[in-house]
Amino acid sequence: MIIDVHTHAPRFRDRVPPELVAATANTKWSPHGIRPTVYTWAEYDAAMTPVDRAICFNIAQAPPPARQITESYLGPAAQVNDETAAFVRAHPDKYIGFLSVHPDDPAAIEEIERGTGDLGLRGIKLGLNYQNVDPLSENAFRIYAYAEAHRLPMLFHQGTSPVQFADLDYAHPRHMDRIATALPELRVIMAHIGHPYYLDTICVVRKHPHVYTDISGAVLRPWGFYQAMCAAMEWGVLDKLLFASDFPASTPAETLRLLHAVNDAAPGPKALRIPKEAIEAIVHRDSLPLLGLD
Ligand SMILES: [Zn+2]
């Protein structure tokens, strides 16, 4: 069983301005070439062939008139949640949908209630750097507290981004310690091992039993990923790493290949190696019960 805990639902060309497609479809997202930002559900489904289950979502933009941080994954909360729910409902054995809200939206809690009620979505995705929200703000904590009380796992974008106006500090993994300390029952996935701040991520996941991190994106930079994996091994948190692709930034197939190749970046025969069993354990980790989704 392979579970991809982090994939993005399509944004459609008719809703993404051409200049935005051009701005985001660049090699800054991945050193391995241009990544599509606009694709279809059929393309999404085809990319998920190697995995048995996948968690799927998009990110809610700020309600008007707030300034948008340009990023083509974002859309109005109700629209992205409706689209995720419709697709997931058609493939209930494979896909699990998460909703997204904007924490500064006065109607955010009602949208969570609608998403988890009528729409059948089962967790919450936030990208606070793209949403231009301070992760320690009162509005953000209102969402976390609701999620903890209603047993909704949360996935946060963590670490860097090539988007110019996406605040690096709003996605810095160190802030998750404050959140997990205040809400110790909240199930959290910190995306991307917080790359390149993987040591900060490891410091957080090692002390909070319900905080995990996903390997997506981090695999795309083999030297950084090798160091992150060695650090995770040294700090004893390889068991907190969840398999994920961050489609379309990568695919499950590419992520599997790069994960299996992690030791290719070892700088010499005496350098640390990640044991094969530890790699296979990440590939086959049953992440759903860890997140309260079984
Ligand atoms: Zn993502």
Centre of ligand 1 to C-alpha 188, Å, is 14
* Token pair listed for 225: 């990923």
Say what the pLDDT of residue 30 is. Answer: 63
Centre of ligand 1 to C-alpha 269, Å, is 35
Domain count, the chain: 1
Chain segment 208-222, per-residue pLDDT in tens: 999 999 999 999 999
Chain segment 164-195, per-residue pLDDT in tens: 888 999 999 999 999 999 999 999 999 999 99
Centre of ligand 1 to C-alpha 248, Å, is 8
Spell 81-115 as b/e; 16+ CB within 10 A means b.
Answer: bbbbbebbeeeeeebbbbbbbbbbbeebeebbebb
Cα dihedral sign for 90, 92, 94, 97?
A: positive
- Whole domain around residue 40: which residue ranges? 3-290
Tokens 């689209």, located at residue: 83
Centre of ligand 1 to C-alpha 190, Å, is 10
What CATH number should be reported for the domain holding residue 171?
A: 3.20.20.140
Centre of ligand 1 to C-alpha 138, Å, is 24
**pTM to 2 decimal places:** 0.94
